[in-house]
Amino acid sequence: MLNLNVMKKFRIIILAMVAAAALSSCQDSLDLRSNGTIDMSEVFQDRNRTRGYLNACYNYLKAPYVHAGAYTDDAQNSESITAGHYFDIWYNSDVTSSNFAANNLDGNPWGQFFQGVRKCNVFIANIDGATAEITNEERAGWKAQALTLRAWYYLQLMKRFGQLPLITSDLGTSHDYTADKKASVSEIAAQILADCDAAIATEDSDAYSYVYRTQQWGMATKALAQAIRCETATYVISPLFSDGGYTADQALDIAADALAKVLANDYSLWTTASGGYNAYASYFLYNPDDYRAKDKETIFGGVRTTVWKDCGLPIVSGSSTAGTCPTQELVDAYEMANGKPAITGYSDEQHLKPIINTESGYDESKPYENRDPRFYATVFYNGSSRGNDEISTVAGTNCGLNATSIRYTHTGYYMRKFAHDASNRNSNSDGYMRGVRLAELYYNFAEVAYQAVGPDKVVSVSGLNLSARDAVNKVRARVNMPGIPSGLSVSDFEKRYRNDRRVEFALEPDRYFSLRRWKALSSTAVVSGVKVSGTGKNITYERFSFDKRMTCSDKYLLYPLELSEASKILELTGNDWQNPGW
């Protein structure tokens, strides 16, 4: 909570270090005094304690959440029918600053991320003068990791809260909190970029380089620092966050350089299909903790999923809930395999009357035929198969639509992304949500490039020669999707770009934050599903709409400060730091 209680003690209670000790063999006995304390100077006199403090800097990262898509118009969660469930509250209530943390995608991480910032500040301030037995390479590499992590925490805070206090040193016990102020987004971004630049300038070593040298796929690297730079560039010129501090050309130089440097250091898109899964599906099923033997796309960490249980089909042994059920809007976002949009919008407010692109080849009576291959890797639909089982979403059948049960789909669709056909209660073979992957850098570069120079102009920076359109088409090519054509206006390309980003990162956390950055959240309050009836050649598809969601107004573009935190800051500074609408 901004560590406002730091004034209470001169000694540091190292509970976070004790927790981190369970995670790393690098943290041997901390030799605590009987009162459970240790002087900070003593931490940096000992190799294991120093390494342990660095490990503690990682404790505040958040793993991707498998239900992230249900917080956007990509999905409707089946557990929303349970009164008082967080999805019931998120969809149907006016969430307040008091209950936001209990019902939002990732809580209210103001305190968590600022704790991470403080840990990094302390480490950065002390590592240069540490007398512990560490090599110069380790000293520099460990500091670079902490700089990268601090940049990461500040990027996550900026994405959620906007303007923030900028704290880059250990405030100690005598800091005057009454003088604290919010920094602008441009000021925060400048600090993020400065931390990344300092880290990247560090000489490559086993402690810090572009690639992780062990199985520590959650370790900060130069590639992560470049990814942070690239993402920051999209935010500083975005509709929500742009404050005039950065021009589109400046943002483009940053994004292009970041992508170029990552590509030059052995990162590439995964393009291998295997085991009956196309390349897109196969990527998520592959374990990225492989010393980078095959997976050259993953840049930073993540988590293994249990889709079979948490977003499972009712025919799967051990499935507890259908969970995150893809919406009709997400299905409509997938183009035809010929690269032409199938649905271009809706002629009614409830999304019951789709506007069909008659040149695409889309057939309302066969809506799932000949679609973008990423669709088949992401969504279970009526007539699709899981192993030897054919899925029917007709009411009353094996996976039928049932709005009164959490175990059955509420939209007519089930989540397939990350799921392996063999997974069940006896064996989990499901895949992995990545924290950061190379595809994001391609899209982030494209987002900045089309705003700066248009969709077709080739950008030549740091050995990169790529247009915005080229970057998106690189990712589409992994599943053999035709490229987005040249000659589109900026507005037309933006529509295609945003749609393709939605498809590529479907049911991942990306869309949750992209909608806010674009100030497009208010357009996503209506979601719909499909009721399938009949059999054989007599199948019909009837669209239906859910109640309008309550959490899509501009108020929700930024997170609120928790009420207790906002009150504390008001008392100390005399200023109201609460975000608009809260």
Among residues 209, 245, 244, 204, the alpha carbon closest in space to that of 226 is found at: 209
Contacts of 300 (CB under 8 A, 6+ apart): 217, 218, 220, 221, 223, 224, 227, 434, 435, 436
Alpha helices (runs of H) in 334-467, residue ranges in sequence order: 373-376, 438-453
Give residue 292's pLDDT.
86
- Picking from 170-174, 289-293, 312-316, 347-351, which range would have the lowest pLDDT averaged per residue? 170-174
Q: Establish how many alpha carbons lie within 13 A of residue 112's alpha carbon, considering only the half-sphere containing its beta carbon.
A: 13
**How is residue 232 written in tokens?**
């920051």
- Structure confidence at residue 33 (pLDDT): 56
Angle of the 222-236 helix axis to the 185-200 helix axis, nearest 10: 160
Position 536 scores a pLDDT of 87
Q: 439: closest CA among 267, 277, 315?
A: 267
* Number of residues in the chain: 582
What is the sign, positive or negative, of the torsion defined by CA atoms of 492, 498, 501, 506?
negative
Say whether 354 sits in a helix, a strand or coil: strand
Q: Which residue has the higher pLDDT, 345 or 290?
A: 345
**Does the pLDDT at position 213 exceed 80?**
no
pLDDT at 537 > cutoff 70 = yes
Residue 4 confidence (pLDDT) above 90: no
- Confirm if 344 and 333 have CB atoms less than 8 A apart: no
Buried b (16+ CB within 10 A) or exposed e, 78-109: bbbeeeebbbbbbbbeebebeebbebbbbebb
More reliable by pLDDT, 88 or 288: 88
Q: What is the pLDDT of residue 214?
A: 58
Measured between alpha carbons, how far is residue 235 from residues 155, 244, 245, 248, 258 in Å?
9, 12, 11, 11, 15
Nearest Cα neighbor of 486 from 511, 455, 462 is 455
> What per-residue confidence (pLDDT) applies to 224?
98
Band (179; pLDDT cuts 50, 70, 90): confident
Percent of the chain residues past pLDDT 70, beyond the cut: 93
- The band of 38, judged by pLDDT with boundaries at 50, 70 and 90, is confident
Q: Is 26's pLDDT higher than 60?
A: no
Would you say residue 494 has pLDDT above 80? yes
pLDDT given for residue 36 in this prediction = 60
CA distance 184 to 580: 15
Q: Are 368 and 384 in contact (CB under 8 A)?
A: yes
Rounded CA separation 414/323 (Å): 8
Residue 551, classed as helix, strand or coil, is: coil
Q: How confident is the model at residue 1 (pLDDT cuts 50, 70, 90)?
A: very low
- At 493, the amino acid letter reads F
What pLDDT shows up at residue 11? 30
Q: What is the pLDDT of residue 34?
A: 55
Q: Could you read off the pLDDT of 449-474 as tens digits, one per residue?
A: 999 999 999 999 999 999 999 999 99
Query: Which residue type, as a one-letter code, is found at position 132?
Result: A
Band of residue 175 on the pLDDT scale cut at 50, 70, 90: confident
Residue 17: is it exposed, middle or buried by C-beta count within 10 angstroms (0-12/13-18/19+)?
A: buried
Among candidates 358, 342, 363, which has minimal Cα distance to 537? Answer: 363
Q: Per-residue DSSP letters for 275-341?
A: TTB-HHHHHHHS-S-STTSS--SEEEEEEE--HHHHT--TTSTT-----EEEPHHHHHHSPBTTS--
Domains of the chain: 1-59+109-208+557-582 (1.25.40.890), 68-77+306-430+520-551 (no CATH), 240-304+434-502 (no CATH)
373-411 per-position pLDDT tens digit? 999 999 999 999 999 999 999 999 999 999 999 999 999
Q: Which amino acid is at 206?
A: D
- Return contacts of 120-123, CB within 8 angstroms, 24+ apart: 120/57, 120/146, 120/147, 120/149, 120/150, 120/153, 121/150, 121/167, 121/168, 121/169, 121/170, 122/40, 122/53, 122/170, 123/53, 123/54, 123/57
pLDDT at 24: 38
- Mean of the pLDDT values across residues 563-574? 91
Evaluate if residue 324 carries a pLDDT over 90.
yes
The predicted structure's pLDDT at residue 459 = 98
pLDDT for the residue numbered 493 = 98
Residue (of 321, 338, 418, 423) closest to 373 by Cα position: 338
Banded pLDDT at 174 (limits 50, 70, 90): confident
- The pair of three-digit structure tokens given for residue 483, joined into one six-digit string: 């490229």
Amino acid at 392: S
- H/E stretch holding 159: helix 136-161
Per DSSP bridges, beta strands 459-461 and 432-437 are unpaired
In one-letter notation, the amino acid at residue 514 is S
Torsion of CA 281, 283, 285, 286, to 10 degrees: 160
pLDDT band at residue 444 under the 50/70/90 scheme = very high
